[in-house]
Amino acid sequence: MAFSFSNILKPKKEKTPKEVLPKIEFKGGTIYAEDVTNNVYLDFEELGGFPFIKTIIIGDLSTKIKRTGCTLTFIFENDSLTLNSDNTDIESNKIKNTASYYTEIDFELNEEEAKKIKNEKVKEIQYNFKGKVHTYKKV
């Protein structure tokens, strides 16, 4: 068996999001929606008496947004509801040794909007990043 530096210096192949997603046991949220290469975790939180939605996207979505934020649209049977992100700067973080990213985004909402999302049947959700729409089917 011959020794080769090329095998030592060769970069290891990163795992794709399709390979990584089924193995992720994310305990920081409740899975809410998905597409082929991303999972969306969504939870209703409250801070100082004000409700907000905490979302986390894990998968191949990578974005970096300054000063404009994004929107999240809930699509119902006969209606829709669009929320604005709490922060205008959004950045995805790479998950070590994979080709996957972790993107955390909070959204402002009021009591009425929270009740509507909880009580009505949501068909899908859509994130709008700089005019590009990412659609996820509800789980």
- DSSP-derived 3-state class of residue 119: helix
**Separation of alpha carbons 124 and 112, rounded Å:** 19
pLDDT along the chain (139 residues), means of 10: 62 68 80 94 91 95 94 96 96 89 95 94 96 95
For residue 49, the model assigns a pLDDT of 86
What does DSSP say about strands 101-108 and 50-59: parallel, antiparallel, or unpaired? antiparallel
pLDDT of residue 15: 67
CA separation for the pair 116, 19 (Å, rounded): 35
Say what the pTM is: 0.86
Q: What is the pLDDT of residue 92?
A: 96
What is the model's pLDDT at position 97?
A: 81
CA atoms within 13 A on the CB side of 27: 0
Q: Give pLDDT, residue 60.
A: 93
DSSP of 69-80: -EEEEEEESS-E
